[in-house]
Amino acid sequence: MVFQGSKPPMNDKSFNSILLAVIVVTILLVVGVHFIPDKRLALISNPSIPLFLNSEPLTDGTPSSEWTNEEYTSWQCNYPDNFDGDYFPCGITMDLSSTIDQGRDLSGYENLTIHMNYTGPANKVRIAIRNYNPTYSNVEDRNSTKFNAVHLHTKDLNREHKLALTAFTVADWWLNQFNIPFAQAAPEFTNAISITIDFGGPEQPGTHQFSIEKFELHGEWISTEHWYLGILCLWMLGIFIFAIKKLIKLNAQTQHDTHIINQLSNTNEQLREETNKFRRLSTVDPLTQLYNRFGIDQIVASLADQNRPETSAKYSLIITDIDHFKQINDQHGHDNGDLVLQHIANIIQDNMRANDFVGRWGGEEFVMIMPCTSTKTAMSIAETIRTTLANSKVKLNGEIQLSASFGVSEHQPNEDFATCFKRADNALYKAKELGRNRCILAEDKL
């Protein structure tokens, strides 16, 4: 159907052609992510990253380390026989920052590619990355920058080696010296200020020669996960735009249907309200606003439904009867009798819990159903209602004292409601026989 003033809808052939083209482009994008070149940062022979040789004069005047080429990529350490210090100054530092608190963010790199040649008696070489964080670092103390380090065996040198940044750990001596909490003890590269290559501890005396051919960081410009997520978002955006255009085109056609549906919805809502009104009238006692006998029957039927797992639990039953109610009606009239019924209904309702049910069984008799409740609890609640009622007064033609008798039973396995009710009813009449105004627990069996 073409609406007046609108463009003809796209035919299936055109749509299928566009869809096929989008699918082909999507496949190329999915495969193409693996051909995106890595993000690289060369740390050697980089004019923006100066190199410093860590060297001090020895006792005989010779330097502890010295450059051995003009490109500053090779150096030599002269480790004497009589050195007994904790740290021998031999190594190079790549300065990544102009100031101690403004370094480079290396967190976007995953690997450090190293090709370093070494000859000498050392077993291990240390690579350390210093990171500044104002939470724990002090601009006045360069040693307060986090010391992320990894130790490489010299056997792994003399060839190209890819080292994951996740291999770096924070040195224990640094954590202890600056009392770093566990939450800040993880390696960190968000503000790296320098990278150092050294021994990290005492080594064998002799000549140690280093030569670096490659020392660079590698990372993805965009992770594969983010790339695929971007493709998915583009698809979702395309589907969303397509759906919006469809909705706009169908809007005029559906306006009339929407009007009819709204009318039917309003009619159904009115019918639903009427149904709820009559359902409530059929299950609620109009005088006390408690369940009536039919409402209690509905509750009992639901509790007897063995197909619902929650109904298999036991429940307790309380039946109460107002003492001398006929006398109250005869002496004060039925209107005042209704006030008494409402007064007692309010007291009972105030002492019920959220999952309890209470109804007027008939005349002056009330029934309380308490799911998942023991007889001990039910007796306690019945006694509370009894004492509250006994301590209350109703002003009719003068104040009158009220009391009620209670029978309490607990639903037994495989017992129907009628039997449970009969046991509670027998307990109620026993309370009447014993003088009224008391709670009696029913026998387990009739």
Domain check: are 211 and 264 in the same one? Answer: no
- Residue 286 forms part of a structural domain: no
**Same domain, yes or no: 321 and 397:** yes
Last residue of a domain, one of 280, 303, 319: 280
Query: For residues 39 and 341, what is the distance between their CA atoms, to the nearest angstrom?
Result: 85
* Residue 349 · residue 358 · CB < 8 Å: yes
Range of the domain at 140: 40-221
Residues 237 and 376 in one domain: no
Quickly list H helices, 202-314. 224-283, 293-303
pLDDT of 310 reads 47
67 and 200 share one domain: yes
Both 155 and 270 in one domain: the answer is no
384 with 343, same domain: the answer is yes
Tokens 């500044």, located at residue: 132
Same domain flag for 310 and 341 = yes
Residues 86 and 159 in one domain: yes
Same domain for 262 and 362, yes or no, is no
Q: How far is CA 26 from the centre of its chain?
A: 34
CATH of the domain at 391: 3.30.70.270
End-of-domain residue from the set 195, 221, 247: 221
Which H/E stretch holds residue 47? none
Number of domains in the chain: 3
Query: Looking at the domain assignment, is residue 421 inside a domain?
Result: yes
Regarding whether 248 and 337 lie in a shared domain, the answer is no
Which residue ranges in the chain fall short of pLDDT 50? 1-8, 306-312
Q: What is the per-residue pLDDT for 306?
A: 47
This model's pTM is above 0.75: no
Same domain for 248 and 213: no
> For residue 145, which phi and psi values (nearest 5 degrees)?
-70, 145
Per-residue confidence (pLDDT) for residue 311, from 0 to 100: 45
| Residue 342 and residue 270 share a domain | no
pLDDT in tens, 329-359: 888 888 888 999 999 999 999 999 999 999 9
Does the residue 311 lie in any domain?
yes
Joined tokens for residue 130: 């210093």
Q: Which of these three, 201, 221, 241, is where a domain ends?
A: 221
